[in-house]
Amino acid sequence: MEFDNPQSWAWSPDRTPDPDAAWEIACLKNLAIAIQQHADQIDVFLDVEDSDCIHINIFKSHRKTGEAYVNRSAEANDHPMFSVYYGSEEQELHSASLDECARHLIASNGFPVSR
């Protein structure tokens, strides 16, 4: 698996033993692909260092501009609810919409350095 190539992202029990990680990686893969379809100068990296906190990091010109996580929606357990953090003031968005999340991450102008 190449962590900078969403097309290659797949769950591996060797890397992340939590079976729910397969669902999280698949949802984050869909978001990463949506971002890259609308902006070719953005890099998206999968972070699975902590299997309890799988997320993606978004970069423009080698500068981090956001990150996104996914949880199961309270209304429907099989629907994703994304938590997106973006912008120099670390704005926050919680949405089930891939397009809405992608738009905010693409438009981001930076991200706090301390993260």
pTM, 2 dp: 0.88
Q: Would you place residue 1 in the very low, low, confident or very high pLDDT band (cuts 50, 70, 90)?
A: low
- Please report where in the chains the tokens 């099989």 appear, as a residue: 78
State pLDDT tens for residues 42-64.
Answer: 999 999 887 778 999 999 988 99
State pLDDT tens for residues 74-109.
Answer: 787 789 999 999 998 889 999 999 999 999 999 998
**Would you say residue 112 lies in a domain?**
no
Q: How many domains does the chain have?
A: 1
Spatial separation of the C-alpha atoms in residues 89 and 97, rounded to whole Å: 22
**Would you say residue 83 lies in a domain?**
yes
**Would you say residue 18 lies in a domain?**
yes
What is the residue range of 85's domain?
A: 6-107
- 102 to 10, 55, 61, 66, 94: CA distances (angstroms): 21, 14, 17, 11, 12
**Would you say residue 98 lies in a domain?**
yes
Contacts of 3 (CB under 8 A, 6+ apart): 9, 45, 46, 47, 48
**Would you say residue 92 lies in a domain?**
yes
